[in-house]
Structure 1
Amino acid sequence: MDFFTPVELPSGMPRLSQSDELLLMGSCFATHIGECLTHAKFRTDVNPFGILYNPLSISAALREVVADKVYTEDDLFFFRGCWHSSMHHGDFSASSAPDALRHINTRLRAAHARIHRLDCLMLTFGTAWVYEQAGHVVANCHKQPDTLFTRRRLSVQEIVADYTSLLSRLTARNPKLRVLLTVSPIRHVRDGMHANQLSKAVLLMAVDQLCEAFPGQVFYFPAYEFLLDELRDYRFYAEDMVHPSAQAVGFVWEKFVQLCLSDEARDIMQETERVRKALSHKPFRPDSAEHKHFLEQIVLKIDRLNQKYPYLDFQNEKEICLIQLKE
Structure 2
Amino acid sequence: MTHPYASLPDIAYWKTAVAERNPLQIAGLWQSKWPIAMADPIVTAGSCFAQHIGRALSARGFLWMDAEPAPAHLAPEPAREFNYGIFSFRTGNIYTARTLLQWLQLAYAEIEIDEWWQRDGRVYDPLRPAIEPGGFESVEEARASRRATLAAIRRAVEGAGVFVFTLGLTESWYNARTGVEYAICPGTAAGEFDADLHLFRNHRHGAILADMEAVLTRLRARNPALKVLLTVSPVPLTATASGQHVLTATSQSKSTLRAVAGELVQDHPFVDYFPSYEIITHPVFRGMFYAPNQRSVVPEGVAVVMERFFADQATAHGAPGKSSTDRAARRAARRARRAAAARDDVKCEEEMLNAFAR
TM-score interval (norm. to shorter) = 0.7 to 0.9
1:130-279 alignment runs, 5 A limit: 130-134=172-176, 135-141=179-185, 143=188, 144-145=192-193, 147=195, 149-191=198-240, 192-214=246-268, 216-229=269-282, 232-260=285-313, 263-265=319-321, 272-276=329-333
- Give the equivalent residue in structure 1 for 2:131: 91
RMSD: 3.1
- Residue identity over aligned pairs, in percent, reads 24
Letter in 2 for 1:140: I
Q: 1:69 to 1:23 in 2, by over 3 A?
A: farther
CA distance in 2, matches of 1:53, 1:246: 21
Q: Secondary structure at the match of 1:123?
A: strand
Instruction: For residue 189 of structure 1, report the CA deviation from its aligned partner.
Output: 4.2
Contact 1:122 1:179 in 2 (8 A): yes
Contact 1:52 1:89 in 2 (8 A): no
CA distance in 2, matches of 1:36, 1:139: 25
Instruction: For residue 123 of structure 1, report the CA deviation from its aligned partner.
Output: 0.6
Q: Secondary structure at the match of 1:240?
A: coil
Letter in 2 for 1:178: K
Contact 2:157 2:222 in 1 (8 A): no
Q: 1:151 to 1:47 in 2, by over 3 A?
A: farther
CA displacement 1:74-100 (0-9 Å, x = unmatched): 442212443211211512352412544
Instruction: For residue 2 of structure 1, report the CA deviation from its aligned partner.
Output: 4.0
Contact 2:60 2:333 in 1 (8 A): no
Instruction: For residue 176 of structure 1, report the CA deviation from its aligned partner.
Output: 1.4
Q: 1:168 to 1:110 in 2, by over 3 A?
A: closer
- Give the equivalent residue in structure 1 for 2:58: 38
- Give the equivalent residue in structure 2 for 1:58: 100
Q: Secondary structure at the match of 1:181?
A: strand
Q: Per residue, is there more helix in 1 or in 2?
A: 1
CA distance in 2, matches of 1:250, 1:269: 23
Q: TM-score, normalized by length of structure 2?
A: 0.68
Q: 1:137 to 1:68 in 2, by over 3 A?
A: closer
CA distance in 1, matches of 2:213, 2:111: 22
Contact 1:156 1:203 in 2 (8 A): yes
Instruction: For residue 241 of structure 1, report the CA deviation from its aligned partner.
Output: 2.3
CA distance in 2, matches of 1:114, 1:136: 23
Q: 1:159 to 1:69 in 2, by over 3 A?
A: closer
Contact 1:51 1:89 in 2 (8 A): no
Q: How many residue pairs were aligned? A: 277
Q: Which of 43, 47, 55 pairs up with 1:27?
A: 47
- Give the equivalent residue in structure 2 for 1:282: none
- Give the equivalent residue in structure 1 for 2:351: none
Q: 1:267 to 1:63 in 2, by over 3 A?
A: same
- Give the equivalent residue in structure 2 for 1:293: none
| Structure 1 unaligned spans of 5+ | 280-327
- Give the equivalent residue in structure 1 for 2:339: none
Instruction: For residue 207 of structure 1, report the CA deviation from its aligned partner.
Output: 1.1
Contact 1:31 1:47 in 2 (8 A): no
Letter in 1 for 2:295: V
CA distance in 2, matches of 1:53, 1:270: 39
Instruction: For residue 269 of structure 1, report the CA deviation from its aligned partner.
Output: 8.3
Contact 2:313 2:319 in 1 (8 A): no
Of the two structures, which has the highest relative contact order with CA contacts closer than 8 Å and spacing of 6 or more?
A: 2
Q: Which of 92, 104, 110 pairs up with 2:152?
A: 110
1:70-89 alignment runs, 5 A limit: 74-89=114-129
Letter in 2 for 1:33: I
1:296-315 alignment runs, 5 A limit: none
CA distance in 1, matches of 2:184, 2:322: 37
Q: Secondary structure at the match of 2:101?
A: helix
Letter in 2 for 1:151: F
Contact 1:7 1:225 in 2 (8 A): no
Contact 1:68 1:108 in 2 (8 A): no
CA displacement 1:102-159 (0-9 Å, x = unmatched): 4433333223123223211111011111112223321223515473532221111111
Q: TM-score, normalized by length of structure 1?
A: 0.74
- Give the equivalent residue in structure 2 for 1:4: 23
CA distance in 2, matches of 1:181, 1:278: 28
CA distance in 2, matches of 1:43, 1:187: 26
Contact 2:173 2:181 in 1 (8 A): yes
Letter in 2 for 1:176: A
